[in-house]
Structure 1
Amino acid sequence: MTRSAPPVQGTLESALYAEDLEAATRFWRDVMGLDPFQTVPGRHVFFRVAPGQVLLVFNPAATGQPPRPDARLPVPPHGAHGPGHFCLAVAPEQLEPWRTHLIAKGIPIEADFHWPNGARSIYVRDPAGNSIELADPAIWG
């Protein structure tokens, strides 16, 4: 197969949407251990996932609006309604400690299974209803 597009380096940022950004912050900071590094109340909170990787959590009511004509950063409107999905890569030997941690934090495990290739995934929901997966990177070979 011939590539017609220039190469990319990887995923830089991923976005989820949540109307209650305070609940999102508590989940991603206090349960998942991610550090928030930028917040605009009512609009967004951004978290560091790993070096060079960021999770953006936006309030879709705020980001669905077009930028003001005088906006310094004219980011086009965006947003989603309904649950999204986000997957964190976790070393296989850390999945059981994660399961124990999530249960201790009162987070219900929605699914915990092994894929046909033997790799494991654990699924939970964040406060906005997004599907959050913690997975052995081997799920993709």
Structure 2
Amino acid sequence: MPRLNAVLETALYVADMPRARAFFEEALGLSPFTADHRFTAYTVGPSVLLLFLEGETTETVILPGQMGTIPPHDGSGRVHMAFAIDAADLAGWEQTLDAHGTSIEGRTHWPKGGESLYFRDPDGHLLELATPGVWPNY
């Protein structure tokens, strides 16, 4: 069987794109590399975080020229995703989140030594900052 190399993209669906962009850019320090009215894309290490405006991706997108199409997709609800961080940066992230008025909802000390901080974005998604030792591969 061919092998999967990594998770390349993660998508979150948001109700208010300017509000979501402000959070991800100001509180988390991400910089978009492309955006339009319906989506924003951020590089996060070797992965891409995609924010889609709820209800704006329910039709097939036809790309210019012979590039192809993107089938419809959408989502709702309070989704979970995690960002990998260095253990040495954990305290700095706590201070950064606090400075942006973002409450930490939970903390976990994992058996392999990793730590996780849990907080929410403006759309209620559960975001996690995870240090090495959370999973066997991280």
Scaled by the length of structure 1, what TM-score is found?
A: 0.87
Which deviations, in whole Å up to 9, do the C-alpha atoms of 1:75-114 show, x marking residues without a partner? 1111111011110001111111111110111101111221
Of 100, 103, 108, the residue aligned with 1:113 is 108
Q: What is the CA RMSD across the aligned residues, in angstroms?
A: 1.3
Question: 1:35 and 1:48 mapped to 2: Cα distance?
Answer: 7
Question: Residue 113 of structure 2 contacts residue 132 of structure 2 at CA under 8 Å; is this kept in 1?
Answer: no
2:49 pairs with 1:59: no
What secondary structure sits across from 1:103 in the alignment? helix
Deviation at 1:118, TM superposition (A): 2.8
Question: Residue 121 of structure 2 contacts residue 127 of structure 2 at CA under 8 Å; is this kept in 1?
Answer: yes
Question: Residue 38 of structure 1 contacts residue 47 of structure 1 at CA under 8 Å; is this kept in 2?
Answer: yes
Which residue of the partner structure matches residue 140 of structure 1? 135
Scaled by the length of structure 2, what TM-score is found?
A: 0.89
What secondary structure sits across from 2:113 in the alignment? coil
Structure 2: tracts of 5 or more residues without a match: none
Which residue of the partner structure matches residue 11 of structure 1? 7
Deviation at 1:115, TM superposition (A): 1.8
Deviation at 1:40, TM superposition (A): 1.1
Structure holding more strand per residue = 2
Question: Residue 60 of structure 1 contacts residue 78 of structure 1 at CA under 8 Å; is this kept in 2?
Answer: no
4+ residue stretches of structure 1 with deviation over 6 A? none
Deviation at 1:74, TM superposition (A): 1.7
What is the percentage of aligned positions where both structures have the same residue? 36
Structure holding more helix per residue = 1
